[in-house]
Every structure is written in structure tokens, then in C-alpha cells.
Structure 1
């Protein structure tokens, strides 16, 4: 009994110390696991033909870099260029709204309800400037932390090589040592795999569709910085229901108050019935239905995940929620 207690104490201490060693690199480890789950079908297909696990893993990583990393760098470069342009225009007052440009009837209506129209002009200009400045500052921070980003990316790629090649063995070893019934462990692992795939697939399909539509609509309306606003729509689309409106609605108000009411009304209609419709149609079908998570829980766990884990939280949040529900369902079956 004494030796058993000593064993558990040593196990607990070494586990805590090991976790402390890895705590700063949990996000690269997490994304290595995510990419290994997403691309394991391709790896398995390739490995059946080559019968060389190391080569298949390297080719899979190369494909991931080609499909994910390279386009991300190109898009980031284009967005950076747009941000510099917009910040420069805003600082020079190029987008400033003046009362002479507003539709008189709207101006009269605003005055009638007791609002100060000059304050509204200032707030709109300040919002546009703040949004661009925030994006600009974020890009600067990314550039300043480029060394940390490179190190994290290298760790992710290194781990991904082994997760692809030895993933099945790693899973079997974890199942063999974890103090739970093997069938229950397999069930939870299957849930983790399913939720991961569905969340990534659903989020990125919705983000791409909404961001691309936003970019196209703003380009047709000849709005400065369409690629930046489209990117921000894709980014904010992570928040179900309200995401893209954070970007397109202020632009709509800005256009109407600037006297470009036709463009403003077109953007309002497009935001509600085209961009918004994508979210309402695709997200429940791709995420909520497959994960058995209600829409409100997807929203809450996404926001909570982002606040705790940063941008990676849009995946981590729904995964934790789904595992939480799965574990309680499992407990109910066990105790039934």
C-alpha cells in the first residue's frame, strides 16, 4: 500500500512538471493534433500506395504547407498593403464625413429625435479609424513576434510528422494506460475526431463564403479596402449570427451618412439577405447538426474559447463543450 501511494505521488509530480514544460507550446501541439486528424485520410491513402510511413508523412506535410500556409502568407501580404492604404487615408481625413454630404431628410430626422449629428460624424470616423488601426496594430505585433511564430510553426510541423506516422500507436498507448473502459475511451476519441472535423470544416467554409461574398459585394460597390473588410468579415464570422454584421453594418451607416445612400442600402440588403443567409443556412447544417450542439451553445463556447485561448479557441471551445456533453451522457449510460 505504501509503495502504491508513493508511486501515485511520483506520478502526479512528474505529470505536473511535464505539463509545466509543455504549457507554453500547447497551441502548436493542439494544431499538430488538429492537422493530423484532418489530413489522416490523405496520409492513410498515400501510405497504402508508398508503404513508406516517413515519406508519406513528409508528402502530407508538404501538401498542408501548400494548401494552408502559402495562401495564408499571400492573403496576409495583400491585407497588410490594404491596411497601410486605409490608415493613411483615414489619417489624412480622406474618409471624413461632413454634414454637407448627408441626405437632408436623414439629417433632419436625426435632429428631430434629439441626437447631435456632429457627434455621430465623429463617432463614425473614429470607428472606421479604430477598426483599421486595430488591424494595423495586430499585424505589427505579428511581425514583432515573428520569431516566436516561426518556432511554434516548426514545433507544430515536427510534431505533425510523428502524429501522422505514429498516430495509431500513440492512441493505442494512451488507451492502454488511461484508467477507463476501452470502449468508453474509443467513444470519447471518436467524439473528439468528429467534433474537430465538423468544427474546422464548418467554420472555414462559412468564413470563406461570407468573407468572399463580402469582398465581391464591396468591390462591386467600389468601397476602398474591400479585401481588408472581406477578411475581417471572414474573421468575425467565427461568431455565429452576429459576426459579419460587426463589419458591414458600420460601413452601411458610414455610406448612408456620407450621402452614398444607394450603396449603403445595397450593402444593408446584401448583409442581411446574402451574407447573413450563408450563416443561417450553412452553420446549423455543418456544425450544430453534426455536433449535436445547439446554436446558442456553439456561440457561447466559441466566444468563451476565444477569450481563453485566443484565435485557436474557435475550435477548442466547441470541442470542450461537446466532450463535456459526451462525458455526462456516458456517465448517464453507465449509471443507468
Structure 2
């Protein structure tokens, strides 16, 4: 017997409602585009500090609003104020380096020529075969690259100065959003889970995976990057290298990329020391880079991230590079999150496809397929058996 088909008007109303739902969702996302960075980092910070908020609620008598305010103050003191101070110092130091490069006080092509002249003959022959033996051409390319970097830094500084009002508005939008996400985030996440048309097990798995990866990426990778950048900056300052803060930030930035890391900064500097006669400085920097900067990732990352949530390094590398190419600086979080959700969804799909369905015994008669009850057997009083029906 076939079930009656729903009336055509009912199906039309359902499809119209779905289209309306999609349209208003796209429209809401569209109006959030100008504040994408503020909304994104507000959500990330709320997810990262939600455990702190949950611990503060009982200590403040179950009042969620004061707990959210205290958590927001902690975010300001721990994250936002130091970031603003470091960014201001970095902009000033980058401008100083650019000015010294323009005046000739810092001559990177000369440093490159010194390294090239000190290379062994077999290395220079390999460079010649690879088409990299033309020193003048390499110097021209290096100079052009440095000029482009300087122009980019200057353009970014000018953009920051011109868009100060937008930055201030975005900053307060982020703080405002963080407060309400901390206070009402639990109810909002439950509401979102109820609206997602998946079974409860899948929704629970995906939501836990999302929160875990966000916390792991920010708390783990960022703290590891900060540690490596700080250690590298201390070494550069101790060895008397100019613009130690600038190089420290670059090392921290590159530390977000596994298999690449801060070695792209300290290794060329160590090579320069070795080939220019500062052998002691070169050996110290190499030993420090390998034993301290290089190993801090292996020591801190398992503690901060956890081995069970760590994705393969090649997945992290590709997703981080791709995310930053598409979303800019925000991509170092967005890329790994998308990759982790991709892997989680496919894992759930594979589990569903390979799950063995439970076998249900098929019987032609009501009493067939059951063990018969021996006569004169006392049954459980809680079980009622109707002998006339056999059930």
C-alpha cells in the first residue's frame, strides 16, 4: 500500500520556504562581509576563552554577564593590548629598515655578493648550470624584491592611517560580539545544532571537531609561533643583528608553516656569518636554531595541541598556505579548520557506508524464531505473555 502523496500546494510552500531561508542567509552573510575580520576573530576568541568563562560563572554566583565582562577584560590584557603594542613597534622598525635600505646603510645585494663569493667552486658551478650564476641579475632581482616589499609595507602603513576609523569600528564590533558570544554562546550553539538537518551523533562530532581545531590552531600553533619568534628575536638581539623585532615577527609568521619554519630566516643569517668570517656567531646561531628554536615545536605542540587532534604536517602546510592565499592573514586559522572539517565529514561518511546493519530475524509466523517456553516454567512477573497470540 503506497502512502498518499502530499498536496502540491504543500510541496510548493516547502520549496518556497527553503529558497527564502537560503536567500535571507546569503543576505545576512553579505551585510557581514565589511566586518568579516571582526566577526571572525570575535568568534575565534569566544571559542578559545569559553572554558575560562565557564569556570568563572560558578565563582561569580552563576551570573553570566559579570563572568563575560571579566573574561573580556582578560582577553584585552592578555591578547589585544600586547598585539597592538607589538604591531606599533613592528611598523616603526619596518619603516626604519626601509629607510636604512634606501640610504644604502643596509646593502642586502652586497651581503648576497659576499655570500656568493665565499661559496665553494662546486656550488657555484651548480648554480651556473641552474641558470643562477649571473650575480648581477640575481642582485637586480633581489633589489627589485626588496623595493616591492618596501612599497608593500609603506602602502599598508598608509592604508592603516587612512582607515583608522574603520579599524576602530571593527575593534569595538569584535569586543561587542565577543561579550555576547561568551555570555550566550552555549544557547546559540545549541540553537544552531537544532537547525542543522543531521542526526545528533554527527552534529555532536562535527561541533566538537570544529571547536577543537579552532582552539588547537590558535592556542597551539600561535603560541608555538610566538615562542619560536621570541627565541629567535632574543638570539638576533644578542648577536647584534639589526631589526631583531622585525626578524622575530617574520620567524613567528613562518613558524605557522610546518616543514618550513623559522629556519628560512635564521639559517641564511648563520650562513652569512660563516662565510664572512664571523664563525663563532654562525656556529652559535646554528646550534641555537637547531637545539632551541627547532625543538620548541616538538616540545610545545604536543602539549598545547594534543597528538590526537594533530593533522598530518602536509595537510596543515597545504591548508595554511591555501587559506592565507584566499583569506589573507585570517587564512592560517580558516584553512586548517576547513581541512579538518573536510576530513571529519569524510570520516563520518566512510563510517556510515561501512557500518554493518543489525540483522533482524525474519519469521513467517508469530511464534517462529523464538525459543519455546518450557512448560511449568515460572516467568518474570514483569513480563506479560498472551498465549493466544504467541507474543
Distance 1:49 1:74, change over 3 A: same
Deviation at 1:311, TM superposition (A): 0.9
Kept after mapping to 1: 8 A contact 2:324/2:332: yes
Distance 1:259 1:117, change over 3 A: farther
CA deviations 1:178-219 (Å, max 9, x no partner) are: 211123211111111111111112112211111111111111
2:124 counterpart of 1:106: no
2:248 counterpart of 1:230: yes
The Cα RMSD (Å) is 2.9
CA deviations 1:285-322 (Å, max 9, x no partner) are: 65472324111101111111111111111111111111
1:89 corresponds, among 93, 96, 100, to 100
Name the CA distance, whole Å, in 2 between partners of 1:221 and 1:132. 25
Helix, strand or coil at the partner of 2:240 = coil
CA deviations 1:220-268 (Å, max 9, x no partner) are: 1111111111111111211112131332234334445555454344334
Distance 1:47 1:252, change over 3 A: same
2:15 counterpart of 1:15: no
Helix, strand or coil at the partner of 1:222 = coil
Higher relative contact order (CA 8 A, sep 6+): 1
2:218 corresponds, among 185, 200, 204, to 200
2:48 corresponds, among 38, 46, 62, to 38
Kept after mapping to 1: 8 A contact 2:91/2:157: yes
1:62 corresponds, among 69, 73, 78, to 73
Kept after mapping to 2: 8 A contact 1:202/1:286: yes
Helix, strand or coil at the partner of 1:208 = helix
Q: Which has the larger radius of gyration?
A: 2
Name the CA distance, whole Å, in 2 between partners of 1:263 and 1:133. 32
Name the CA distance, whole Å, in 1 between partners of 2:230 and 2:346. 39
> TM-score normalised to the size of structure 1?
0.87
Deviation at 1:94, TM superposition (A): 1.3
Which residues of 2 match residues 86-235 of structure 1 at below 5 A?
Answer: 86-96=97-107, 98=110, 102=114, 106=118, 109=121, 113=125, 115-117=133-135, 134-235=152-253
Name the CA distance, whole Å, in 2 between partners of 1:180 and 1:241. 37
Name the CA distance, whole Å, in 2 between partners of 1:14 and 1:111. 62
Kept after mapping to 2: 8 A contact 1:248/1:271: yes
Name the CA distance, whole Å, in 1 between partners of 2:64 and 2:187. 13
Query: Counterpart of 1:279?
Result: 297
1:311 corresponds, among 329, 333, 344, to 329
Contiguous gaps of at least 5 residues in structure 1: none
Distance 1:252 1:174, change over 3 A: same
Deviation at 1:116, TM superposition (A): 4.7
Name the CA distance, whole Å, in 2 between partners of 1:126 and 1:261. 30
Helix, strand or coil at the partner of 1:180 = coil
Distance 1:85 1:10, change over 3 A: closer
**Which structure's residues are more often helix, by fraction?**
1
Contiguous gaps of at least 5 residues in structure 2: 1-9, 356-391
Name the CA distance, whole Å, in 2 between partners of 1:129 and 1:260. 28
> TM-score normalised to the size of structure 2?
0.76
Name the CA distance, whole Å, in 1 between partners of 2:343 and 2:349. 10
Distance 1:107 1:183, change over 3 A: closer
Name the CA distance, whole Å, in 2 between partners of 1:105 and 1:34. 49
Kept after mapping to 2: 8 A contact 1:110/1:117: no
